[in-house]
Amino acid sequence: MAAKSAAKPKSSEAQAAVAEFTKDQDLAAYREMLYIRRFEEKAGQMYGMGLIGGFCHLYIGQEAVVVGMQMCLTPGDQVITGYRDHGHMLACGMDGKGVMAELTGRRGGFSRGKGGSMHMFSVEKQFFGGHGIVGAQVSLGTGLGFANRYKKNGNVSVAYFGDGAANQGQVYESFNMAALWKLPVVYVVENNRYAMGTAVTRSSAQTDFSKRGLSFNIPGEQVDGMDVRAVQAAGQRAVEHARSGEGPFILEMMTYRYRGHSMSDPAKYRSKDEVQKMRNEHDPIEQVRSRILAAGFATEDDLKKIDASVRDLVQEAADFAQTDPEPDVAELWTDIVK
């Protein structure tokens, strides 16, 4: 089923002009988004080679969301998401070697090779997973906000979830409590237009997810999630709102996933043209790349160097993930509730 043709948000707030990035911001965003994309491409290849088992959901196409949001956070702020989580972990600063080694089920993985793609955590980087139950992270993320409020630590939790997850009941129980207790939570709906093979228009009575908090008086904004500058600008407003004690905020990121839902996807629910059009006209990395070149922030050669260093980093992670040993059999009996 054909969805809307562009990533542009409908609501007027989001149409506001987006501030230009500085040279450093543009280059950092470029590098970070490229790193996520190359990492995911490599994960896809390794899955195809049989090196990765179980579920694996790639983030390719959505990179601007997590990179733009991360630019608004300060140390101590928490991040939680669903199963499409590799990009979030890398953006939080988790080592790519540990992420890739978890995908291949090795000792050096973030869950010592026992969690896989959907179950990784880092207390150090304040990343709280990685959750396979659609919508569960929204309640958990609200709990993180509650803890922040209780401890008066000034931190904000960011709970990411999809357009499909937005129809789960526990999301609204969470909204109610977050608004009631003015919890410092930013809810980021990654509206990539599909929940597995179901288009938003087939499953949602209210397709403007920024309005989903209206009955709780939670403000919301629709954002062009393919433009990292728009994400960062909206993210600043939302994080500031939450941090200042005003309560939760909803950001609906209009984004798009280029690959299938998971590694097996019949791809019958959308046309190849629809995907190609998004790639050609809205790619988040290409947008930054053209801006960098137009502004003279870097030359083609400089960008090639960044590309090469990113590829090296990803290759290092892939090599580690194939050479690091598998967990000892005795590990079957550790980290479990007996």
Ligand X SMILES: Cc1ncc(C[n+]2csc(CCOP(=O)(O)OP(=O)(O)O)c2C)c(N)n1
Q: Does 168 bind Mg ion (CB under 5 A)?
A: no
3-class state of residue 160 by DSSP: strand
User: In angstroms, rounded to a whole number, what is the distance separating the alpha carbons of residues 273 and 222?
Assistant: 25
**Whose CA is closest to 81, among 125, 132, 41, 155?**
132
Write down the least CB distance from residue 53 to Mg ion, Å.
24
Residue 151 parent element (H or E): helix 136-151
CA–CA dist 154, 145 (Å, integer): 10
Alpha-carbon dihedral sign for residues 232, 236, 237, 242: positive
Token pair 């694996």 in the structure block, residue:
56
Q: How far is the CB of 288 from Mg ion (least distance, A)?
A: 23
Q: For residue 164, state whether it binds ligand X (rule: CB under 6 A).
A: yes
Q: Is 97 in the site for ligand X (CB under 6 A)?
A: no
Among 44, 132, 197, 219, binds ligand X (CB under 6 A): 132
Q: Which stretch binds ligand X (CB under 6 A): 18-26, 127-135, 138-146, 150-158?
A: 127-135
Q: 3-state DSSP call for residue 157?
A: strand
Give the Cβ contact number of residue 237 at 10 Å.
17
Binding-site member from 87, 96, 162, 247 for Mg ion (CB under 5 A) = 162
Q: Rule CB under 5 A: say whether 145 interacts with Mg ion.
A: no
Binding part of the chain for ligand X, among 108-116, 121-129, 156-164, 231-239 by CB under 6 A, reads 156-164
Q: Give Cα separations from 331 to 53, 113, 215, 299 (angstroms).
A: 18, 10, 48, 50
Distance CA 102, CA 125 (A): 16
Question: Is residue 225 part of the contact set for ligand X (CB under 6 A)?
Answer: no
Binding-site string for ligand X from residue 200 to residue 219, where x marks contact by CB under 6 A and - marks none: --------------------
Write the interaction track for ligand X spanning residues 133-152; mark x where CB under 6 A is met and - where it is not: xx------------------
Work out whether 192 is an interface residue with Mg ion (CB under 5 A). yes
**192 touches ligand X by CB under 6 A:** yes
Element (H, E) at 250: strand 249-254
Residues touching ligand X, count (CB under 6 A):
14
Q: Which of residues 237-266 bind Mg ion (CB under 5 A)?
A: none
Pairing of strands 198-199, 220-224: unpaired
CB 231 within 8 A of CB 225: yes
Q: Indicate which single residue of 26, 102, 163, 283 sits in contact with ligand X (rule: CB under 6 A).
A: 163
Nearer to ligand X (CB atom), residue 81 or residue 148: 81
Task: State the Cα torsion 31-33-38-44 to the nearest 10°.
Answer: 170
Structure tokens at 143: 């709990």
Residue of the chain from 84, 229, 282, 289 that contacts ligand X (CB under 6 A): 84
Phi, psi of 15 (to 5 degrees): -80, -10
Out of 31, 149, 212, 261, the only residue in the binding site for ligand X (CB under 6 A) is 261
**Please, which residue, 58 or 71, has the CB nearer to ligand X?**
58
- Which two tokens mark 206? 């209210």
User: Which CB, 110 or 194, lies closer to Mg ion?
Assistant: 194
* Among the residue ranges 41-49, 162-170, 205-213, 294-302, the one whose residues contact ligand X (CB under 6 A): 162-170
Task: List contacts with ligand X (CB under 6 A).
Answer: 84, 132-134, 162-165, 190, 192, 194-196, 261
Task: List contacts with Mg ion (CB under 5 A).
Answer: 162-163, 192, 195
